Amino acid sequence: MKKVLFAAFTAGLIFSGSVMAQTVFSVNVVGFQKVTIPPGSFAFASSPFMTATNNLNGVIGEQGADVTDANGGDSIYTWDGAAYTRYVRLPGAGVPPGTENQWVDAGTFALPTDPAGPGTGYIYFNSLATTQEIVMVGEVVDGALNSTTTSTNTIPQGLWLVSYDWSSDIALNSSSLTNETTVTQGDEIFTFDTDTQAYTKYTYFANVGDPTRNYRWLNATTFDPATHVLETGSSFFYRNLGASDVVWTEDQPYNLD
């Protein structure tokens, strides 16, 4: 389950029911997102907000169980198109300088440098016997700050963990992934349900002679048009079976003026 709250900042005042210390990185809208993860469960997550450093430590920070926990601590997995990298959180003492309370590569203890902001994704494992709520805070994505209100997410050939670029939900079959010329018939999307801990597979069909299914993502089991919503803060696997990159472009769906 995911909860999102937008708070407007003007002259340093927070107009919101919740108050949380947070640096404003550019203009005026900060988002708060809560991701609820059941005990012993995985969640496919992403940060829909911009932070000062869009890596795992900037996005997650000092949240989650560290390696000294009796259950061994939580894990975060990233995917580079070929293999996973597992990250764990170190405690605040007895570790190399600069890694206190930080998420590090479980094998090398290096700090993560790969982007973990909008458009990317990661998998969070809750090692505890109780539900955890991970809160992500950052600035709502505003294309106007970069003189463009169209996002571009390039997905190479193969299997990639990705997310929607903007700080909002979008229905899969309302996204431009239904009409991008770079999407190939047969491309696959795998979404993951945190509550059931199960995948659902969707396959892209172009012109199949059925107006209700032409250029749509269909449930690979029922072949019904997908009703799935790409929720804020979620991520999913995309399998690009084409000969070139999928270039996923989306217009900004909200106005922050």
The pTM for the full model equals: 0.89
Query: Residues 128, 155: one domain?
Result: no
Q: How far is residue 79's CA from residue 62's CA, in Å, rounded to a whole number?
A: 22
Which of 27-36, 66-75, 99-108, 179-188 has the weakest average pLDDT?
Answer: 27-36
Q: How far apart are CA 237 and CA 256, in angstroms?
A: 30
Q: 161 and 123: one domain?
A: no
Range 125-154 average pLDDT: 92
Q: Do 230 and 249 form a contact (C-beta atoms < 8 A)?
A: no
Quick: pLDDT tens for 169-198: 999 999 999 988 899 999 999 999 999 999
User: Do 204 and 127 reside in the same domain of the chain?
Assistant: no
Which residue has tokens 């994704």? 121
- Residue 43 CA, chain-centre distance (Å), reads 10
Does residue 111 sit in the same domain as residue 200?
A: no
- Of the candidates 88, 109, 140, which is a domain's last residue? 140
Query: Which of 34, 127, 22 is closest to 76 using CA atoms?
Result: 127
Determine the length of the chain.
Answer: 257
Residue 4 lies in a domain: no
**Domain count within the chain:** 2
Q: Domain residues for 116?
A: 35-140
Whether residue 110 is found in the same domain as residue 165:
no
H or E segment and range at residue 190 = strand 188-193
| Tens-digit pLDDT profile for residues 201-227 | 999 999 889 999 999 999 999 999 999
Residue 42 maps to a domain? yes
